[in-house]
Amino acid sequence: MGELRGTHVPVLLERCLELLAPALGRNGRTVHVDATLGLAGHAEAVLEAHPNTVLIGLDRDTEALAHSRVRLARFADRIHLEHAVYDELPEVLDRLGYPAIDGILFDLGVSSLQLDAPDRGFAYAQDAPLDMRMDQTRGVTAEEVVNTYGHPELARVLRVYGEEKFAGRIASAIIRERERARITSSARLAELVRESIPAPARRTGGHPAKRTFQALRIEVNKELAALETALPAALDKLTVGGRMVVLSYHSLEDRLTKQALADRVRSKGPVDLPVELPGSGPTFRLLSRGAELAGEAEVAANPRAASVRLRAAERLDPEAAQQGRTDRERYRRRVKAMHQPGTGSPGSATDSRSTPGDGSGTDEEGEGT
Ligand SMILES: C[S@@+](CC[C@H](N)C(=O)[O-])C[C@H]1O[C@@H](n2cnc3c(N)ncnc32)[C@H](O)[C@@H]1O
């Protein structure tokens, strides 16, 4: 195994550390889960910053775990590195004897290790067998998907997971080609996609095969189904004051994250009551305003940061949650008053690093995410 340190640059590292610090830096031993350990860039920084924190690192990729084990060797007495899909977190915690956790990070998608590996088939830019499984010990490969799915299913995968406008044409080209010969290589697939896309469209939006490869990767690894289960399960495991940070690189991942958080920051009590009924208050508050983006300098230094969307939340003390409704009422009254003629505008709820038009999103504002 080669020395990999530094080959996967952790995205929004300082911001992640800043968001996790109040939860992990509390007195006594704290527990942090890195649900997508990868090459342990974020995990190493957390362990360095918090000498009393135990790390539980999950990855479905055995190669990533092997590299991380080497990288984190000096922290061996306070790490557990587990081969698991992140929706298996509750079982992993039970097995390791940790009923609750203080922090959790999801840094979704693929690592540079996977993208750059010549034999894994994730990259359209290099020829490799069409595998794309993050866990090469189990599951269906991309080769099986492109050679066995019917036209409607293939087109759906490309359209939904790749947001590919030419999904139908690409699916037709795949089916025509596989009747001639089985499609086994990433280069052949990339070429087929390029040929299916009208010439003017090829000149915009990056490599023409990018969206198809992303879609197949999401399908092969059932990424969205795992995320949809994992997020609520992870939130359930957080202690009061515990924090979750999610880095998404795709609108569907970000949408699932936003929904999972919205469900917890919203009051479930009647809207017109000035106080929360017991058990109906929000259980989390948002720490991010809308979805935070990487700054220009980071994107210039690390192109992977270009599509990142960060969302974060903290579990509330139930008493603070009771208080939430009155705070919310106060906030609403303040905004309403500011809208009265002659009182000026309510001001922007977004900060400059948030996604445009998506600024409603802190607990202060109550419901928006
Ligand atoms: C973007 S990388 C993480 C990089 C890491 N934060 C670092 O600094 O090196 C994502 C990792 O998550 C893993 N992964 C993706 N989906 C997963 C899932 N459902 N369960 C467990 N691991 C997953 C991938 O195998 C990959 O190694």
- Calculate how far, in angstroms, residue 157's C-alpha sits from the geometric centre of ligand 1: 21
225's tokens: 């189904």
CA distance to 21, 27, 229, 230, 291, per residue, from 356 (Å): 27, 38, 28, 27, 9
Number of the ligand 1 atom closest to the C-alpha atom of 41: 8
Question: Which letter does DSSP use for residue 72 in this model?
Answer: T
Cβ(304)–Cβ(11) below 8 Å:
yes
pLDDT at residue 42, rounded to an integer: 98
Residue 117 Cβ < 6 Å to ligand 1: no
Helix axes 41-49, 13-24, angle to 10 degrees: 40
Q: How confident is the model at residue 362 (pLDDT cuts 50, 70, 90)?
A: very low
* CB-based burial label for 220 (10 Å; 0-12, 13-18, 19+): buried
Residues 6 or more apart from 219 whose CB is under 8 A from it?
145, 157, 161
pTM equals 0.85
Q: Of 132, 133, 201, 146, nearest to 177 (Cα)?
A: 146
Q: What mean pLDDT value characterizes the chain?
A: 87
User: Which ligand 1 atom sits nearest the alpha carbon of residue 247?
Assistant: 1
Q: Which of 11, 33, 37, 88 for a ligand 1 pocket mutation test, highest count of atoms within 8 Å of Cβ?
A: 37
Q: What pLDDT, on a 0 to 100 scale, did the predictor assign at position 343?
A: 46
Q: Residue of the nearest CA to atom 3 in ligand 1?
A: 38
Mean pLDDT in residue range 229-243: 98
Per-residue pLDDT at 242 exceeds 60 = yes
- Hey, which of 60, 104, 309 would you mutate to test ligand 1's pocket, going by the most ligand atoms within 8 Å of its Cβ? 60
Residues 178-232: pLDDT tens digits?
A: 999 999 999 999 999 999 998 877 777 678 899 999 999 999 999 999 999 999 9
How far, in Å, from the CA of 95 to the mean position of ligand 1?
A: 21
pLDDT of res. 347: 36
CA 59–ligand 1 middle distance (angstroms):
6
Higher pLDDT, 210 or 366: 210
Cα(351) to ligand 1 centroid in Å equals 28
Q: What's the burial of 282, exposed, middle or buried (CB within 10 Å: 0-12/13-18/19+)?
A: buried
